[in-house]
A = this chain, B = another copy of it.
């Protein structure tokens, strides 16, 4: 069943419509009941029985064979697969021994009395069975058929229910106000990724904003106190895999709150809305500074579901006479670091190790060496001859290396080496898992709060103790911003905002070198009694994607765009006529014409 919670199981799915029950809900308890069902023909066998499907599941329908019901038999026999039918009949137990324990309705079947084809189906471009692998382009072109799959039905229903639970938490339990903010707005500073929308006034454009950031702050200044919105946002990034030109964020802002308050809110929100079928999540979420995340995981969004942490072995190597290592250690922030791939020698082949090292070389221009701990306790490596036994033992101890583990080692500047090893950590984990070693519990959900110490952001307030530093050495200011990470994916970012007009103007002008004119309304608003405030935005598509374990956010969006921003079903975006552009005082600058104009 797709129902996730007791609240929704109590929903009446058959109110207002021409059925008594859904196909998927019938059980032994219904035996003897007269029912009317509507659904799609999943398959039909020789006029004897068929399987009817609706969003809740499948039910077996027994077609009567007696003369009095010959019309019913003919109707159901002639209807193509995926035709929509309405049947009435009686729920009966399946004959003993014919129960199907793998089917939730497998103990019963429906003996049909009447049948009506509501719409006949023409030939389909592909079969509606979950086990048939379809190309994604085909799924997108016929999205309305793809939506009939168990997985898409499950994903969209879980999304709806999880968002509903979030609304209950925010609106009913904590007094948040759901406010809709405009999507036809003006360009924001640095808003190069904003779609433009021409107005009927020559040369004047709206922009589709990347988030309701300004509006949520203005709502706080307007005394709304606590705001949330399931907000449609827009970002024109051209072609980027697994990004969408329009996406949804759970947008939250509160007055008189500090960073700890926002963290407690978001923990409570996720705990309350978490689907039962995905277990429970524990709070508070662990927290980590950006420096720790970088040093141990080589990224600002650590996947803490598995270990393989980056280990600093600089001290071991200080007394090892290897030229390139010594050169690296002598540089500013010079370090030697390593990760240990468990059972790497058994699960990875030589070409895997070469490919990992090649990846470091091509993406970071960083040399990486590998060491293998042989069952006899010695380290096999190009470096072996330079490493005395005590060094080898120190490395083994520091990284807790066991027999058949592989150590990847890199020397260089701290941040670069961390980034390289962080990348290789994920790549080698993926490799190990593709070879059958389970590193990450697929049912585990690891939330993590990463405190971003100095992220220059136009609206983020500095740490109270660093306020004066803002004017003297803005690069060193710690900001009150953190990212929320789930299983190694950034799913949200929260911060305390600047509520002082003068500080906001300084950050825009002096620190970020942006034109404050575009934000004059916000600067003016901050002068009119702006309360201290802060908030967070959660990326809903990504969150749901992780909760349902889908391979792409396209699997949790009803009608997603392709990675080129196209809707393959309707051929969007499409050409329109010059006449249709006329009211907007724009014309297409065709590339040929542009080239010509540039020459002149």
Which A residues are closer than 8 A to B by beta carbons?
7-8, 10-13, 15-19, 38, 40, 53-55, 82-84, 86, 118-122, 124, 142-148, 152-153, 156-157, 159-161, 163-164, 167, 171-175, 177-187, 192, 195-208, 214-215, 218-219, 221-226, 230, 232, 234, 236, 238, 245-246, 248, 254-258, 261-262, 264-265, 499-500, 521, 525-532, 557-559, 561, 565, 567, 569-576, 580-591, 594
Given contacts A561-B184, A571-B186, contact A13 B175 (CB under 8 A): yes
Alpha-carbon gap, A144 to B494, bound state (A): 22
Q: Are B574 and A173 in contact (CB under 8 A)?
A: no
Q: Are B223 and A148 in contact (CB under 8 A)?
A: yes
Given contacts A521-B569, A580-B196, A586-B586, contact A16 B531 (CB under 8 A): no
Q: Are B7 and A576 in contact (CB under 8 A)?
A: no
Interchain residue pairs A-B with the least CB separation, the first 4 = A147-B222, A11-B175, A121-B529, A16-B261
Copies of the polypeptide in the assembly: 2
- Most B CB contacts (10 A, CB to CB) among A8, A17, A195, A218 go to A17
Q: Are B232 and A153 in contact (CB under 8 A)?
A: no
Q: Are B558 and A203 in contact (CB under 8 A)?
A: no
Q: List 11 A-B contacts (CB under 8 A).
A: A11-B171, A11-B175, A15-B265, A83-B529, A144-B525, A145-B222, A182-B567, A196-B581, A202-B590, A582-B594, A585-B590
Query: Which of B11, B203, B221 is close to A174, meaning CB atoms less than 8 Å apart?
Result: B11
Alpha-carbon gap, A15 to B175, bound state (A): 9
Q: Are B572 and A206 in contact (CB under 8 A)?
A: yes
Chain B residues near A500: list those with CB within 8 A.
119
Separation in Å of the A138 CB from the closest CB of chain B? Answer: 13
Alpha-carbon gap, A203 to B587, bound state (A): 9
Q: Are A174 and B585 in contact (CB under 8 A)?
A: no
Chain B residues near A234: list those with CB within 8 A.
184
Alpha-carbon gap, A368 to B86, bound state (A): 56
- Most B CB contacts (10 A, CB to CB) among A163, A174, A574 go to A574
Chain B residues near A175: list those with CB within 8 A.
8, 11-13
Chain B residues near A245: list those with CB within 8 A.
184
Q: Are B587 and A587 in contact (CB under 8 A)?
A: yes
Alpha-carbon gap, A208 to B183, bound state (A): 11
Given contacts A175-B11, A187-B580, contact A215 B118 (CB under 8 A): no
Chain B residues near A159: list those with CB within 8 A.
178
Separation in Å of the A202 CB from the closest CB of chain B? Answer: 6
Alpha-carbon gap, A431 to B79, bound state (A): 63
Chain B residues near A174: list those with CB within 8 A.
11-13, 15-16
